[in-house]
Structure formats: structure tokens, C-alpha cells
Structure 1
Amino acid sequence: MKLENITELELLALLSAASVLRKQKQFELILERLLANKCSVKKIYESLLQTYLFAGFPSALISLKRLNEIVGKDKVYKGYDLKKYSKRGEKNCRLIYGNKYYKLISNVKSFSPEMAEWLIVEGYGKVLGRTGLTLKEREICIVSILSALKFKDQLYSHINGSVKVKAGFDLITRTINNLEIISAKSSAKYGLNVLREYQLKWNQKNVV
């Protein structure tokens, strides 16, 4: 598996995808490369922790347990602060969705009021608002995860989120293309198709 000339962020994104696809051999090799490159264990931990939002607790627990077996550092948890998560979540969600924020919440609330609230508190507040990774780094990892899992609507939204936090189309494209490295060619193709759809609309809106 060729991991040369891949940036740290791209490796974190690829590790996230290998985690949710349960590609254990590739996961181990990418993790080994990140640690050899002196990547912060905190960044690796945060990249894997947030996967539970998209692939569930069972998947995240497997990957976090394996990381702990290798690095074995003590973890510090500051407790649950609902008010802080709600405030931070709304701020981050507004940043990503802009003037579509209310439409998003209203739409989700129409079929699940609980999910509308949890999206803010749990997603953008408790998890995506944590320190250890920037919002840009988190969004790029999420693009990799959602391409791997082939969730179109959410992928489209997080491509938009990546653009909003100035990730750039080159980085987004490389992130999705890198899925071929872990033998997820169909996921890479799927992700690139969604990206092209987004870029087409983006170009139409931003034509001079």
C-alpha cells in the first residue's frame, strides 16, 4: 500500500475511512505511518472518536481500542456540558450551512425533532466542536468517511462544509481519490461523482 507523499491530514482521513469500512490491515498500516511521522496521538484519537457519528459505536470502539493498545495514553474526560454543546453546536452548524441553517433544522425537525436537536448538540457541539482537530480537519475526515459509506446527501453537505472552511477542491479531490489506496475504488468513484455534482452547482453560482 503506497502511502508516500500523502499529507498528514489525508492520512487521518484515510485512517477514518479504513476504520468505518473495517479494513483492519490497511488501518494498521496507515496508523503505523502516522505514528512513524510523529502525528499527534490526540489528532489520531479525535479522528477515530468522531467516526461514531457516522458508523456507530461498535465500529468506533474497535478502532479506539486498537489505538489504545498501541499508544496506551491516559485519557481525560471533562464531563458532559449540554449548554456548552448546544451553543457551540449552533455556532458551528451556522458556519457550515450559512443561510440554509434554518431550512436544514426545519427539514430534519419535520421527520424527527429528536434528530434535529441531536444534530446540533451531539454532532456539531459535543463532537465536531472538540479541540484536537480544526473544523477543516474534521470536515475532510468526514468527507472521506461519507464517501466510503456512500451517503450522498450527507456527503454533499460536508463537501459544502469543507469548502466553507476553506479546504479547497484539490484537497477534497485527493481525499476522495485516496480511497483507492485501501481498495475502495467504488467508494472513490461514488465520492467523486458527488463532488462533481457539487462543483457544477458551485461554478454556476460563482460564475463571474
Structure 2
Amino acid sequence: MKKSPKTIVILTALLALGTTEVIAQSSVQTPTTQQQGAATMTLSQKQYSLAQIGAFTANGDIRRLNLAIDQALDNGLTVNEIQAAMVQLYAYAGFPRSLNALSALSERLKVRQAQGLKSEQGRAARPLPKNTDLLARGEQTQTELIGQAINLSALSPDIDRYLKTHLFGDIFANDLLNWQEREIVTIAALSHMQGVENQLRAHIDIGKKNGITDEQIKEIVQLSKQEMSQFPAGEENTAYAKYFVGKSYLNMLSAEQVPIGNVTFEPGTRNNWHIHHAGKGGGQILMVTAGRGYYQEWGKPAQELKAGDVVHIPAGTKHWHGAAPTEWFQHLAIEVPGENTRNEWLEPVSDADYGKLK
């Protein structure tokens, strides 16, 4: 199939950063439906566990990774399969995250053994034939993925060789996970990292060609939000996206009597400076439910916010609020009743000012 110029650019960028995968030739998982809080899941239990491992390894959330490891083992994943996912992630999230995840797995296995819980080791990966030419094997895999031969030697001969011999010729030759499962791990990891939007879009495209549905992708990218608090995160806040730096999600919990919205901020996301105007009364109350963020009024220092904090914002006060640079943030936004209320959206919070926050 002939690729569009835009697709080739994105996929080439992926290759340059070592973040491409392969379209699966192995069997596709049959989705099952189960409940996770208020969300309907279409990922199988194995797929969901792999997505959790990908997400929490990539963002360094060891607490939730430990829970995901236990759930994965209880759901029938083997130790070797989990290790294969974590090893793969070194190519996307780096050695430190991968090593931390493998260390967490090792510690969980010791705890489970002491508790008498079963952890199936599983089979080992089938070894490659002796004298396998990893460069040729990787180049073939890469070509099957892209639909044409790719040579990145102009960027760096070393990175071209590393990608072909190791990422494609070695990691994806490990048959403990099929290529669809590896795409789920990768999409989950990239969706929980910053600055990798092009790679994420390309992997979503590859995943969909490999049988991953839009609903499954939606579940994967929302993994970090679903468990932040008892309030569902809701859909992406596209209606107000132009007033935000970064991505946010909005779930209107109440539109009667007192409007209440649950607002979820991805790491580094904040809204613009703005003012809640009212002829009488008005203003807003923020009740922080999860994560870490900031609130700042014009001319005053920013204050750090954590779960349990409450902020009273009088009408007519210029202010902004949002997430910390490396953490998700969630709060309830409660509109105080008033007369002739309206919002005035102003300039974004500059990167320079935001970067000064601890």
C-alpha cells in the first residue's frame, strides 16, 4: 500500500527515535467486556494488564505498577511475559524506567512467594537460529512494517544499525509477546509520556491496522486517569482546549442547582489566566481530589495544591490553575451562583513563569 508523504514523515520520525513497532502476523486477542469502576472495558484481561505495565513503567509510577504486577500474575500472565514487556520499554522510556520496573517485579515476586501466592514463570522465548544475521532480520521486519525500505544512515549510521539489529532484529524476535501485544504496551507507554505526540499518533495508526480498536485505544490512553479518584475523568476537554496549554479532560458531574465539573489535567497542563465575572455573587471553588498542581492569583506567588485542598476564588480575580510538570492533577470546579456571570479568558501562563515553579 502506498504511504502518504505525511505518514512517511511520521514513521520516519519514529524510526529516528527508536519507537517503531511491527504489524502483527500472530493471532489477535478476542476482546472481553468487564467493569473497571464506571468504565466499560473491551480489552482482554491480559491486554489490560500489559497496558498498565506499559503506562506505569513509562511514567515511573511504581506504586500502581506493583498493583498492576499482582493483577497481571493473578490474571494468568507469566513472569517471563511481564519481563518481556518491561525489557521492551527500555527502548521507549529508557534504561532507568525499565530497570526500576524489573526491580519492582523482582520484589513483588519475593513478597508473593512469602505470602504463598502463585507466580507462573512460564516458558522461555524460543531462541533465534544460530548465526542469525540480526541486521538482515531487522531490516526485513522494518520493511514489512513501513511498506518500503528505510535507511536512516543520513541521520546517524549508528542509530540505523541499532534500530535494525536490536529493536527489530532482536526484541521483536522474542516471541513471548505477539506484535499486537507489543503495540498495546508501546501505545500505553507513549500515551503517558510527554513530548512524543508524533510517535504516539503513528503507533496508534499501526495498532489499528493490527486489529486494536478505537475503543481499546481510548481505554489505553486513559489508564492513568481512571483511578485518580472516585470521579470519572470524562472526555477530552476539546471545547475549551484553546484556553489550555496541554491536554485536559472534563466530566460535568452536575448541571443543576450548582454546576460541578471534574477537571483532569495531564502533567504540565494548565489553563490560561482568566477571570470569573459576576454582577453579584459568583466566583468559583476548587476542591482537589487527586494529584499535584498549582493555583495562582495575579501578582501573588503560586500555591501548591494536593488532594484535600480547597481554593475559594472570588469573582473578578485574575488567576490560573493546573498540573505540576510531571504529575497528573484533578479537581472539582464548583461554580458559585451569581448574577450576570461570565468567564473572561486571557493570555496563557508563559513557559518561563511556569518553569520557575518547583
TM-score band w.r.t. shorter chain: 0.7 to 0.9
- Please tell me the residue identity of whatever aligns with 1:159: I
Q: 1:133 aligns with which of 171, 177, 194?
A: 177
Contact 1:26-1:182 at 8 Å conserved across structures:
no
TM-fit CA distance, 1:146: 1.0
1:98 to 129, 144, 147: 147
Mapping 1:54-203, distance limit 5 Å: 54-71=92-109, 83-99=132-148, 102=149, 105-106=150-151, 108-150=152-194, 151-181=196-226, 183=228, 186=266
Q: Tell whether the 8 Å contact from 1:96 to 1:160 is kept in structure 2 after alignment.
A: no
CA distance in 1, matches of 2:223, 2:156: 35
Unaligned runs of 5+ in 2: 1-34, 111-120, 229-263, 270-358
Please state which structure has a larger fraction of its residues in strand: 2
Higher relative contact order (CA 8 A, sep 6+): 1
Q: Distance in 1 between matches of 2:80 and 2:265?
A: 29
* Structure 1: 5+ residue stretches without partners: 190-208
1:26-54 CA distances to partner (integer Å, 9 max, x unpaired)?
Answer: 11111111112222222211111111001
What are the superposed Cα offsets for residues 97-124 of structure 1, whole Å, 9 maximum, x if unpaired?
124xx3xx34x33222211221121111
Larger radius of gyration: 2
Indicate how the Cα distance of structure 1 residues 26 and 160 shifts in structure 2: closer, same or farther if over 3 A, else same. Answer: same
8 Å Cα contact 1:144-1:179 kept in structure 2:
no
- Aligned positions, number: 182
Normalising by structure 2, report the TM-score: 0.45
Where does residue 40 of structure 1 map in the other structure?
Answer: 78
* Residues 70, 108 of structure 2: 8 Å contact kept: no
Displacement of 1:135 in angstroms is 0.3
CA distance in 1, matches of 2:201, 2:54: 18
1:192 paired residue number: none
